Amino acid sequence: MTREGIAGPIPDVRVGLCIRCRTLTTAPVAVRWIESDGGPGTILYACPKHAAQLGAGPTPDDVIRTR
């Protein structure tokens, strides 16, 4: 093991709160997106176990803008 391997940059770890079981997960899956009038929308996450049950979407990429 080299010094660079030990003291290298810390990898980004994403943590999200599952909307079904209310536990923190290190593998969050985006399952809902709530649009906001006064700023950016909010993305809701689920753990991998509950993401399959909840289904995906809509996400910001799924929204069809009609202007």
Q: What is the pLDDT of residues 8-66, one digit of tens each?
A: 776 677 899 999 999 999 999 988 888 888 888 888 999 999 988 887 666 656 665 56
Is residue 28 within 8 A of residue 45, CB to CB? The reply is yes
CB 43 within 8 A of CB 33: yes
Q: Is 67's pLDDT higher than 70?
A: no
- pTM of the full structure: 0.64
- Please state the domain extents for the chain: 13-67
Residue holding tokens 């929204």? 63
Q: Give the CA distances from residue 17 to residues 2, 14, 22, 35, in Å, rounded to whole numbers and listed in that order.
A: 36, 10, 6, 19
